[in-house]
């Protein structure tokens, strides 16, 4: 599995569609798989929602897209892939494929289990005169009496671009202009690798601003700013997650909060995950909000706390260099939430480790001052952490099998993969020039151990 598609809350349940290859644990004939949940944590697999139609306009794959309610009817708009009629018709060229991408529509009833595809694409071609580097992953929203659609793209030699369309009915679309544009970058066989193609756009209002998310160069980037006269004017920008995280897609939860989902890709060789028989993980749901300066904040959704079980708490301990190992705490079965509040000394650094009882390292979080700022590192992944000297640092680390999701002060997030399987519990060691306000550890119940009532 990979990209989250069309997450939506309908009739008291959350529905998640996602890219899925039923043929094996590798990228291939992409379908839309479907799962539903009462709480965003305990998920029930539904029948596959969309599959390529043999001989149809999506015969080579059902790619990413969005879900909306159109007069109460669940409707999805997605990218279908087919062979081009001639070489110049190809919009996807990644060094391996030369395919034509078209935007497609399907409608369901309230069950969201059976979908009827429109007889032809609703957007069959890119705007004339644009040498696009891609044409996919529609993001759809309602704006007044119209529907709007942002499409991932780019222009050869000019950089990534998000194309903006308008429609009265989700079926007849008019191209307006670029919603946002990048700048000229270097060339690569796959334009996504160089940043010449922006894929998986997501665009939504948040507070008094708008947020644009784009996926390119292996990362998800955010931009916040103003939206006037159907043009986006970025003011601030940053990185959603510095680690293994891609193709982010948002939705509104039952409380009207903006929830962000992301695909956590593998960081092991393909032969390893083919042998394992599975690949790809969905991230924990994240609540996004705006900081006072207009930057993006991200925190784990409160829903994850339903999995908390045995709790161990330690209060202030002074300088960590004096307290050594947190001897009372153990993480069992690679399923835990660790929350640590620290106050680094002005020129200090610290090291938080998860170790086997014999001392072998499993994971480590490092913080240190740099000439140009402050750096946070989770294993091999580096990130910037905007803090002022003397400010506390709140770390929330979620361990779930091979996945670690680290949230620091709700402004920096790193997702990492660790594939070693320790033969026993993990202990926690904290070292460095830092004061410790509190440490909380929860063992987490596996979401798959839900009671039948939650299914």
How far is residue 205's CA from residue 263's CA, in Å, rounded to a whole number? Answer: 22
For 18-27, what is the mean pLDDT? 96
CA distances from 320 to 122, 196, 314, 354, 439 (A): 60, 46, 13, 15, 12
For 428-452, what is the mean pLDDT? 85
Contact between 34 and 49 (Cβ < 8 Å): yes
Given pLDDT bands bounded at 50, 70 and 90, which one contains residue 266?
A: very high
Cβ partners under 8 Å of residue 359, min gap 6: none
How far is residue 217's CA from residue 214's CA, in Å, rounded to a whole number? Answer: 10
How far is residue 389's CA from residue 436's CA, in Å, rounded to a whole number? Answer: 15
For 18-37, what is the mean pLDDT? 97
Cβ partners under 8 Å of residue 106, min gap 6: 50, 75, 76, 78, 115, 116, 117, 118
For 324-333, what is the mean pLDDT? 81
Give the residues across from 140 on adjacent strands: 149
Q: Hey, what CATH class is 4-300 in?
A: mainly beta
* Residue-level pLDDT at 455: 41
How far is residue 287's CA from residue 40's CA, in Å, rounded to a whole number? Answer: 12
* Residue-level pLDDT at 452: 42
Task: Tell me whether the CATH fold assigned to 4-300 matches the one assigned to 303-449.
Answer: no
Read off the pLDDT of residues 121-169 as tens digits, 9 standing for 90 and up.
999 999 999 999 999 999 999 999 999 999 999 999 999 999 999 999 9
Average pLDDT of every residue of the chain: 93
Superfamily of domain 303-449: Exo-inulinase; domain 1 (2.60.120.560)
- Rg, Å, the chain Cα set: 23
Question: Which residue has better confidence, 395 or 434?
Answer: 395
How far is residue 343's CA from residue 409's CA, in Å, rounded to a whole number? Answer: 12
* Residue-level pLDDT at 320: 52
Read off the pLDDT of residues 396-435 as tens digits, 9 standing for 90 and up.
999 999 999 999 999 999 999 999 999 899 999 998 888 8
Contact between 258 and 288 (Cβ < 8 Å): yes
Place of tokens 């926690």: 428
Read off the pLDDT of residues 173-225 as tens digits, 9 standing for 90 and up.
999 999 999 998 888 899 999 999 999 999 999 999 999 999 999 999 999 99
Place of tokens 């756009």: 201
CA distances from 49 to 6, 69, 75, 121 (A): 11, 16, 12, 18
Contact between 312 and 441 (Cβ < 8 Å): yes
How far is residue 84's CA from residue 396's CA, in Å, rounded to a whole number? Answer: 48
Given pLDDT bands bounded at 50, 70 and 90, which one contains residue 319?
A: low
Nearest Cα neighbor of 60 from 89, 85, 33, 80 is 80
At residue 84, φ and ψ (nearest 5 deg) are -75, 150
3-state SS, one letter per residue, for 113-170: CCEEECCCCCECCCCCCCCEEEEEEEEEEEECCEEEEEEEEEECCCEEEEEEEEECCC
Tokens of 70: 């159109």
Domain ranges of the chain: 4-300, 303-449
Catalytic residues: 3
How far is residue 22's CA from residue 28's CA, in Å, rounded to a whole number? Answer: 9
pLDDT of 341 over the 50 cut: yes
* Residue-level pLDDT at 372: 62
3-state SS, one letter per residue, for 363-404: EEEEEEEECCEEEEEECCEEEECCCCCCCCEEEEEEEECCEE
Percent of the chain residues topping a pLDDT of 70: 96
Cβ partners under 8 Å of residue 322, min gap 6: none
Given pLDDT bands bounded at 50, 70 and 90, which one contains residue 453?
A: very low
* Residue-level pLDDT at 302: 97
Tokens of 414: 């790193």
Contact between 398 and 405 (Cβ < 8 Å): yes
Give 52's DSSP letter. P
H or E stretch covering 82: strand 73-82
Around 366, how many Cα atoms within 13 Å sit in the side-chain half-sphere?
9
Nearest Cα neighbor of 221 from 247, 244, 250 is 247
Cβ partners under 8 Å of residue 216, min gap 6: 160, 192, 195, 197, 198, 199
Give the residues across from 175 on adjacent strands: 165
* Residue-level pLDDT at 323: 53
Place of tokens 């998920």: 43
Question: Which residue has better confidence, 454 or 323?
Answer: 323
Quick one: 84 exposed, middle or buried, by C-beta within 10 A (0-12, 13-18, 19+)? middle
CA dihedral over 327, 332, 334, 336, signed as positive or negative: negative
pLDDT of 29 over the 80 cut: yes
Nearest Cα neighbor of 204 from 286, 148, 247 is 148
Given pLDDT bands bounded at 50, 70 and 90, which one contains residue 318?
A: low
* Residue-level pLDDT at 262: 98
pTM above 0.75, yes or no: yes
* Residue-level pLDDT at 347: 66
Give 194's DSSP letter. H
């Amino acid at each position: 599995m990979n990209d989250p598609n069309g997450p939506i809350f309908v009739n008291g349940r959350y529905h998640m569609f996602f890219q899925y290859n039923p043929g094996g644990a590798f990228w291939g004939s992409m379908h839309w798989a479907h799962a539903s949940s009462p709480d965003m944590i305990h998920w029930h697999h539904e029948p596959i929602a969309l599959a390529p139609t043999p001989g149809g306009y999506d015969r080579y794959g059902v790619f990413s897209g969005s879900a909306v309610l159109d007069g109460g009817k669940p409707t999805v708009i997605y990218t279908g892939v087919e062979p081009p009629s001639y070489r110049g018709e190809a919009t996807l060229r990644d060094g391996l494929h030369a395919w034509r991408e078209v935007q497609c529509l399907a409608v369901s009833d309230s069950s969201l289990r059976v979908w009827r595809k429109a007889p032809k694409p609703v957007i069959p071609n890119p705007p004339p005169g644009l040498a696009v580097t891609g044409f996919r992953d529609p993001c759809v929203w309602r704006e007044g009496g119209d529907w709007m659609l942002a499409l991932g793209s780019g222009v050869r030699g000019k950089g990534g671009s998000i194309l903006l369309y308008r429609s009265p009915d989700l079926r007849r679309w008019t191209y307006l202009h670029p919603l946002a544009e990048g700048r000229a970058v270097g060339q690569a066989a796959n334009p996504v690798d160089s940043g010449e193609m922006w894929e998986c756009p997501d665009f939504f209002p948040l507070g008094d601003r708008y947020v644009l998310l784009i996926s390119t160069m292996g990362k998800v980037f955010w931009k916040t700013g103003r939206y006037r006269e159907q043009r986006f004017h970025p003011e601030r920008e940053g990185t959603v997650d510095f680690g293994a995280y891609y193709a982010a897609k948002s939705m509104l939860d039952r409380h009207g909060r903006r929830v962000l989902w992301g695909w956590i890709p593998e960081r092991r060789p393909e032969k390893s995950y083919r042998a394992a028989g599975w690949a790809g993980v969905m991230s924990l749901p994240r609540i996004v909000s705006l900081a006072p300066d207009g930057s993006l904040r991200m925190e784990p959704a409160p829903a994850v706390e339903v999995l908390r079980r045995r709790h161990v708490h330690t209060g202030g301990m002074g300088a960590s260099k004096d307290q050594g190992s947190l001897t009372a705490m153990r993480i069992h079965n690679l399923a835990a939430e660790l929350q640590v509040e620290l106050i680094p000394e002005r020129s200090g650094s610290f090291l938080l480790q998860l170790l086997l009882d014999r001392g072998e390292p499993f994971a480590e979080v490092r913080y240190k001052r740099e000439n140009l700022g402050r750096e946070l590192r989770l294993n091999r992944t580096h990130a910037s952490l905007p803090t002022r000297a003397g400010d506390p640092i709140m770390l929330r680390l979620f361990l779930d099998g091979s996945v670690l999701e680290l949230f620091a002060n709700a402004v920096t997030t790193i997702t990492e993969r660790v594939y070693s399987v320790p033969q026993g519990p993990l202990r926690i060691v904290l070292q460095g020039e830092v004061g410790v306000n509190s440490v909380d550890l929860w063992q987490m119940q596996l979401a798959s151990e839900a009671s039948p009532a939650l299914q």
